[in-house]
Amino acid sequence: MRIEDKKVLATLRDLGVELKSAASLTDITYLGIGGTTDLLRLTRHESIPEVVKLLESNGIPFKFLGGGSNLLVADNVLPWVVMQLAQPDPDVVIEGNIATVDAAADLGRTVTMCAKHDLGGMEGLIGVPGTVGGALRMNAGAYGIQIGNYVREVKVYRGGARIIETLKGDQISFEYRHTSFAPDDMMLAVKLELPSKPFREILQGIRICNEKRRASQPLGQKSAGCIFKNPPGASAGRMIDELGLKGFSVGDARVSDRHANFFVNAGKASARDMLALIADVRERVQKAYGFELENEVVVWNA
């Protein structure tokens, strides 16, 4: 979708919005899949309600985009524009055991920054791709660690109320790969309270987690991480593997040879290819094991 109204474009500039016309989401998403649309990069949190009001009053549909790490976007020209936070400098501020982090900050860099100040607890998240905002929305976790455990406060744009508010950690429900944030909420910043740890101890934990990832995940390939959530008491990856589906493909969308719950873009996979692969694997697991696998990857259908 293109914004062509000159008054709208001028107002966006006044609100500190950087516009990239006809941006390809294949260049933004970790899967390397997605159509084209106008990308609005927001440099000021406080302008978001006004930007939303402007778009809605002019009949321009929109979606909020984080880092694009856990996302599968439809092909071709998209019927909505995309809004994304621009990364500020600095994006992490540390005072004592509290790290105040902008939602646009890279998650891995945040873990490293905190470690340098002898703040640990998030070692397992070092290799999880994407932004802190995306990690908050999905309550990202790995190796027994979930980001929600350390959240003390979140600044969020509430899509339903069209306001920015700050929520205390106990006002938010953090569950396995799920939070109580609404789909049209946009994470803006978070305060994390982290335990003190010696830097060497944190670094050793990071090294162990990185070694595990290198041994089991298709690093260096285009993927969105785990495609399916693990059902209670079961492993989606193990079931897919037991069905002999590693390497199974639809077009250039393929089940990873290294980790069966990672689906990779092995070339120029389309969203249609990836969705067909997801549907096929889900059906096979349901027939063989009786589990209806739920997506962990977020799908934007046009």
Domain ranges of the chain: 6-85, 92-200, 218-300
Q: Which CATH number fits domain 92-200: 3.30.465.10, 3.40.50.300, 3.30.365.10, 3.50.50.60?
A: 3.30.465.10
Token pair for 145 = 């660690």
Residue 256 tokens, joined: 């990873």
Strands 262-265 and 222-226: antiparallel
Task: Confirm if 139 and 177 have CB atoms less than 8 A apart.
Answer: yes
CA distance 150 to 114: 13
Q: Write out the two tokens for 19.
A: 């516009």
Is the bond preceding residue 195 a cis peptide, omega within 30 degrees?
A: no
Residues belonging to the chain: 302
For every one of its 302 residues, what pLDDT tens digit does the chain have, with 9 covering 90 and above? 999 999 999 999 999 999 999 999 999 999 999 999 999 999 999 999 999 999 999 999 999 999 999 999 999 999 999 999 998 888 999 999 999 999 999 999 999 999 999 999 999 998 888 999 999 999 998 888 899 999 999 999 999 999 999 999 999 999 998 999 998 999 999 999 999 999 999 999 999 999 999 899 999 999 999 999 999 999 999 999 999 999 999 999 999 999 999 999 999 999 999 999 999 999 999 999 999 999 999 999 98
Exposed, middle or buried, 243 (CB in 10 Å: 0-12/13-18/19+)? middle
CATH architecture type of domain 6-85: 2-Layer Sandwich (3.30)
- Catalytic annotation, residues: 177, 226
The amino acid present at 138, given as its one-letter code, is M
Asked whether the whole model's pTM tops 0.85, one would answer yes
pLDDT tens digits for 95-135?
999 999 999 999 999 999 999 999 999 999 988 889 999 99
- Packing angle, helices 6-14 and 48-57, rounded to 10: 170
Rounded to 5 degrees, what are φ and ψ at 103?
A: -65, -25
Q: How far apart are CA 292 and CA 241, in angstroms?
A: 16
Q: 184: closest CA among 89, 16, 61, 278?
A: 61
Sign of dihedral through CA atoms 54, 58, 59, 60? negative
Domain 218-300, classified CATH 3.90.78.10, yes or no: yes
CB atoms within 10 A of CB 191: 19
